[in-house]
Amino acid sequence: MLFRSDEGIDVPEAEVAILAASTSSSRQRIQRIGRVVRKHEGKEEALIYTLYATENERDSLVEEAKKLAITAPVSWLKMGI
């Protein structure tokens, strides 16, 4: 299932999100992440993969991860092309 929207879609059974579009808007990022972290019967966790291309994007993601560390584990995987 592929969704390309920031608002208005309810897919609580989703367990994986791949965020490929960069945004500096906290609201947009929260909307995107919110699609997969909603509670659903039988779902214990959700995985969110964020693709980034620049060091500025990476720095923003690192800051976000620091804020989330209290509520969710964050891990990093570096991949090259």
In this prediction, residue 81 has a pLDDT band, given cuts at 50, 70 and 90, of: low
Q: What is the pTM (predicted TM-score) of this model?
A: 0.71
- Please write down the long-range contacts of 59-68, taking CB distance under 8 Å and 24 or more positions apart: 60/24, 64/29
Q: What is the rounded distance in angstroms from the CA atom of residue 70 to the CA atom of residue 79?
A: 26
Judge whether residue 5 has pLDDT over 80: no
Residue closest to 2 by CA, chosen among 17, 23, 22: 17
Chain segment 19-71, per-residue pLDDT in tens? 886 666 777 877 888 888 888 999 988 888 888 888 888 888 888 888 877 88
Tell me which amino acid residue 18 is: I
User: What average pLDDT does range 5-19 have in this prediction?
Assistant: 77
